[in-house]
A and B are shown apart, each in its own frame.
Chain A
Amino acid sequence: TQLLEQSPQFLSIQEGENLTVYCNSSSVFSSLQWYRQEPGEGPVLLVTVVTGGEVKKLKRLTFQFGDARKDSSLHITAAQPGDTGLYLCAGTSYGQNFVFGPGTRLSVLP
């Protein structure tokens, strides 16, 4: 069974600060995704990474897939209150269903 760990579990920061959250596993993934889930809503896909070492940017969000494809990070620059939510990573290995991590709950205070 593939397991994903995410850290930190909770993060509370002030508007304008930078932050990085992590997603780690002992398994190799062929594809890894990041989702953001707002309270009372379903998760929304942010990005998919498939190549070891890959870096993708989505406005103020930077996603990196580890060289060994076992870990990933999400960096947010100049966080805004609208970034508040639960950030979930999910990984798959060659056609298997995605497995979700427990998430990092981010709160950005104005």
Chain B
Amino acid sequence: DAMVIQNPRYQVTQFGKPVTLSCSQTLNHNVMYWYQQKSSQAPKLLFHYYDKDFNNEADTPDNFQSRRPNTSFCFLDIRSPGLGDAAMYLCATSRAEGAGGYTFGSGTRLTVV
């Protein structure tokens, strides 16, 4: 089945130690998104790629970076994780911006110790 896969499901990292979360898709969708979701809150968009075009949300901290080496893969890099960065990180895809439904991965739950 076509899907969005996130690895790992659970990630524990040390305060200040760089960490990378990965997302892959078999849907061949043009757009890939990274969301941060904290407990009992709405998913918050960090950034998205439309093909190779990177779009950063204005309030996304510089500590968060992303790479999309090809259509299928997208990475979220957190350069110096703080305790406040502990959250569920969701990757999603869609055919186009603001169109159709989003297909989400199962998420990576990040713990910072």
**What residues on B are CB-neighbors of A103 within 8 Å?**
40, 42
Tell me, yes or no, whether B11 is within 8 Å of chain A by CB: no
**What residues on A are CB-neighbors of B107 within 8 Å?**
40-42
Most central of A41, A94, A96 by chain B CB within 10 Å: A41
**What residues on A are CB-neighbors of B45 within 8 Å?**
97
8 Å CB contacts to B: which residues of A14-72? 30-31, 33, 35, 40-45, 48
Tell me, yes or no, whether B16 is within 8 Å of chain A by CB: no
Q: CA–CA, A30 to B98, complex, Å? A: 9
Tell me, yes or no, whether B70 is within 8 Å of chain A by CB: no
Most central of A42, A45, A105 by chain B CB within 10 Å: A42
Closest to A42 in B: B104
Establish whether residues A88 and B42, one from each chain, have CB atoms under 8 Å apart when the complex forms: yes
Tell me, yes or no, whether B99 is within 8 Å of chain A by CB: yes
- Nearest Cβ in chain B — how far from A17, in angstroms? 23
**What residues on B are CB-neighbors of A96 within 8 Å?**
97-98
Q: How many residue pairs, one in A and one in B, have C-beta atoms under 8 Å apart? A: 62
Tell me, yes or no, whether B43 is within 8 Å of chain A by CB: yes
Count of A interface residues, CB-CB < 8 Å: 26
Main DSSP-derived SS at the A contact region:
loop
**What residues on A are CB-neighbors of B92 within 8 Å?**
42
Interface mask (B40-52 → A, CB under 8 Å = 1, otherwise 0) = 1111110010000
Establish whether residues B109 and A43, one from each chain, have CB atoms under 8 Å apart when the complex forms: no
**What residues on A are CB-neighbors of B33 within 8 Å?**
97
- Given contact pairs A40-B107, A43-B90, A100 touches B101 in the complex (Cβ within 8 A): no
8 Å CB contacts to B: which residues of A91-105? 92-98, 100-103, 105
- Nearest Cβ in chain B — how far from A60, in angstroms? 20
Closest to A86 in B: B40
Closest to B105 in A: A42
Q: CA–CA, A90 to B48, complex, Å? A: 16
List 7 interface pairs A-B (beta carbons < 8 Å), by A numbering: A41-B107, A42-B6, A42-B90, A43-B104, A92-B98, A93-B98, A97-B97
